[in-house]
Amino acid sequence: MTNEHSNNPYYSRTDKKHLNVSNEEWKKILPKEVYDIAREKGTEWAFTGKYYKTDVKGMYYCAVCGNPLFRSTSKFASSCGWPSFFESLSGAARYVEDNTHGMRRTEVLCARCDSHLGHIFDDGPEPTGKRYCMNSAVLDFEPDDPKAK
């Protein structure tokens, strides 16, 4: 576990047990930006996220709980302004209809901690045709080669 997660007793990259943690508890543990996006369903400004242009082989994890979410091999360059993936790892995410802000879309939540990650759209590349539009602030990245950061 990295130093940034030392205050988070729920963070694990191996534990698959579903978490039932109150927002009150998460607010004490998480950095403000992570809490605002993950628990209050916020978003970061387009083209500002730390992983928007990342093109290194590795694994993306939920920054809230450590759940593995995406392999970099499913990441692609899109013009939406957020890191985009065409598929998540099996069982890593769950999906909820989102009709806020006058739009019909599908929200993507971490399957382990129920944190908001972003949204999924049907305008991605093959082989899935999906575009997972994710917020960098709620992702952690671990490169396959530690020298590649």
Helix (H, G, I), strand (E, B) or coil at 138: helix
The CA-atom distances, in angstroms, between 46 and each of 49, 76, 136 are 7, 16, 10
Which residues are known to be catalytic? 133
Query: How many other C-beta atoms can be found within 10 angstroms of the C-beta atom of residue 81?
Result: 14
Question: How far apart, in whole angstroms, are the C-alpha atoms of residue 134 and residue 8?
Answer: 22
